[in-house]
Amino acid sequence: MKLNLKVWRQNNANAAGKLVDYTVDGLNPDMSFLEMVDVLNDHLVKKGEEPVAFDHDCREGICGMCSMYIDGRAHGPQHAATTCQLYLRSFKDGDTVHVEPWRSRAFPIVKDLVTDRSAFDRIIAAGGFISVNTGQARDANNLPVDKHDAEKAMDAAACIGCGACVAACPNGAAMLFVSAKISQLALLPQGQPERDLRALRMVEQMDAEGFGNCSNIGACEAECPKEIKLTNIARMNRDFLAASVGSETE
Amino acid sequence: MSAATHKSSALFKSSLGKKYLMGLTGLFLISFLLVHCFVNAMVFFDRSGSLFNEYAHFMGTNIIIRIMEVVLFAGLLLHIIDGLMLYFQNRAARPQGYAYNKPNANSSWYSRSMAILGTLLLTFLIMHLAHFWVHSRFMEDNMLKQPHPDFKTDMLNLYSLMVDTFSNPIVVVIYVLAQVALAYHLLHGFWSAFQSLGLNHTKYNNAIHMAGTAFAIVIPFIFALMPIVIYLRTIGVM
Ligand code: SF4
Ligand code: FES
């Protein structure tokens, strides 16, 4: 199997980038997209050229590192999959495939396909935590949680912080990510003491990072590898409104 | 993260505050469309226009409606300013776009085009206000004073102004096209307003979506029929 690639190459944050054509041949359709880039990089290194820089870690769909805008879509054409879980059988032999980094003011390009997503870390640090006392683990059954809430919290907690929602959003908004991180705690009793403060601080930090504004387009939900739902954004909207208008938290 | 940074004034500066404002003003404008459509639909039931003129007279002279007119302009202005701010901030959030992008794979064109649809609607609205609102409020048109056996003496003959305006087929076509833009704006805007205000619930989502789709089709359709029917009356087909 053969692919014609147009890969975004950019030396550093300030350099101008451009799409560069590569052809990779002898591919197996059951290879993952990342393995294909590995093959490309092998060729480049052998030719004495600079390999394509890209982020990756777990290669099993759970770390969220493998950010690539493939063939005009975040993580490529396959539904609910990260780049490492995207296989070449999703493409046809001889296809031309564009590969670009996430494009967002809040995710500056470091090199080639690598972007700096530490804006997400700063949003978490602003309020995406709970305060618990250390000591003995408490008895599992003395804190009842409604089954529906437990499931919704688990679904929200599936977010791997990959940033595909931002990459796919025409507004460059980060609300699906932030709402998942707010929801996973807002739905549980452990998240209640800091619920107001969390909503205020995380939204405040999200705005400060320069993400865009959500206009309910829904591209994020459609492209999220973990199928995080727009209902989380509505929950964040409610929490932030309640915290701004109703709470004494400033 | 200083403790005192979040004042209530910060609410409407925040990204979510702009969302709430967009949703609230949007719902308010939707309620206006409903009333406007109901009143104007009177033209269908009486080809002499006197029924419509009676309703229009009430709308033009009732003190509560006149106050709401001012509130309406304020709401519209907020909707426009907020929308423009969102548009420019969102453009700035992605200074460099994708060289190759397939947005249709994950979203509808009209949900991504609210700003352009809104601009088209605003352009139409300026024309529409020039056609009717400016005439009925500020100009001493002879046509508006046309005597009619059924009319009270102080009543404006707005129907004859409608007939005069829609006797021009180009105007009719522009009005109908504007309703297409309105339909798509509402198709995204209706449910979007609920989502923005946090009103998203598995029990009610289907109803909200269905009501939104029905509203987005029915109301612009009735509006579009008005110039068409009146034009057909002027050329004697109806
Ligand atoms: S919400 Fe989905 S797309 Fe966004 S960061 Fe989390 S897992 Fe990725
Ligand atoms: S490399 Fe970890 S999710 Fe793809």
A41-60 tens-digit pLDDT: 999 999 999 999 999 999 99
Residue A69 CA to ligand 1 centre (angstroms):
14
Interchain contact, A207 vs B14, CB within 8 Å: yes
pLDDT score recorded for residue A227: 98
Cβ < 6 Å from ligand 2: which residues? A 56-59, 61-66, 82-84
Q: At what angle do helices B63-92 and B50-61 cross, to 10 degrees?
A: 80
- Tell me which chain A residues have a C-beta less than 8 angstroms from the C-beta of B206: none
pLDDT score recorded for residue B153: 55
Which ligand is nearest to the Cα of residue A35, counting in written order?
A: 2
Which ligand is nearest to the Cα of residue A83, counting in written order?
A: 2
Which amino acid does the sequence have at B84? L
- Whether A61 is in the pocket of ligand 1, judged by its Cβ within 6 Å, is no
Mean pLDDT value of segment B54-72: 92
Which ligand is nearest to the Cα of residue A66, counting in written order?
A: 2
- Tell me which chain B residues have a C-beta less than 8 angstroms from the C-beta of A149: none
Dihedral of alpha carbons A46, A52, A53, A55, sign: negative
| Chain A contact present for B116, CB below 8 A | no
pLDDT score recorded for residue B146: 59
- pLDDT band for position B8 (cuts 50, 70, 90): low
Residue A167 CA to ligand 1 centre (angstroms):
10
pLDDT score recorded for residue B145: 62
pLDDT score recorded for residue B21: 97
- pLDDT band for position B1 (cuts 50, 70, 90): very low
Residue A76 CA to ligand 2 centre (angstroms):
13
What is the 8-class DSSP label of residue A210? T
- Indicate whether B140 pLDDT > 70: no
- Indicate whether B3 pLDDT > 50: no
Query: Which residue stretches of chain A have pLDDT < 50?
Result: none
pLDDT score recorded for residue A188: 95
| Chain A contact present for B70, CB below 8 A | no
Q: What's the rounded Cα separation, in Å, for the pair A153 and B28?
A: 34
pLDDT score recorded for residue B152: 56
Interchain contact, A249 vs B192, CB within 8 Å: no
Q: Which two tokens stand for residue A122?
A: 């700063």
> For residue B72, how many other CB atoms are within 10 A of its CB?
17
pTM: 0.94
Domains of chain A in sequence order: 3-110 (3.10.20.30), 118-246 (1.10.1060.10)
The topology (CATH level 3) of B15-100+110-234 is: 3 helical TM bundles of succinate and fumarate reductases (1.20.1300)
pLDDT score recorded for residue B112: 98
Q: Measuring CA to CA, which residue among A174, A159, A156 is closest to residue A213?
A: A174
Interchain contact, A234 vs B199, CB within 8 Å: yes
- pLDDT band for position B60 (cuts 50, 70, 90): confident
Rg of chain B, C-alpha, whole Å: 21
E-strand ranges in A94-223 read 96-100, 109-111, 114-115
Residue written as token pair 């297409």: B180
pLDDT score recorded for residue B13: 84
Interchain contact, A213 vs B195, CB within 8 Å: no
Q: What's the rounded Cα separation, in Å, for the pair A131 and A9?
A: 43
Q: Which residue has the higher pLDDT, B47 or A166?
A: A166
Q: Which two tokens stand for residue A181?
A: 């991180």
Tell me what percent of the residues of chain B surpass a pLDDT of 90: 76
- Whether A152 is in the pocket of ligand 1, judged by its Cβ within 6 Å, is no
Q: What's the rounded Cα separation, in Å, for the pair A174 and A166?
A: 5
